[in-house]
Amino acid sequence: MPLPKFKDIQNLTNSDIQKKIIELKKEIFELKLKQTTRQNIKPHLFKHKKRQLAQLLTIKQD
């Protein structure tokens, strides 16, 4: 799974961006919860989700 591209999310509307931010925060929380309970997770997903969240937050500031 490649890292998300910045150009892919530039065309989203503000409401779509807000929904995606909430969704990503939930996914990151669930990953942390699984990691804490020692369930099998793919560690690279943290990097992907956090980067995508940062990109969305950057676009939202404009």
pLDDT at residue 32, as a whole number:
96
Half-sphere exposure of 61 (CA within 13 A, CB side): 6
Half-sphere exposure of 52 (CA within 13 A, CB side): 23
CA dihedral 26, 43, 33, 51 (to 10 degrees): -30
Q: What does the pLDDT look like over 20-60, one tens digit per residue?
A: 999 999 999 999 999 999 999 999 999 999 999 999 999 98
* Token pair in block for residue 9: 């999310």
User: What's the whole-number mean pLDDT along residues 3-24?
Assistant: 87
Q: What is the pTM of this model?
A: 0.84
Contact 4, 55 (CB under 8 A): yes
pLDDT at residue 38, as a whole number:
94
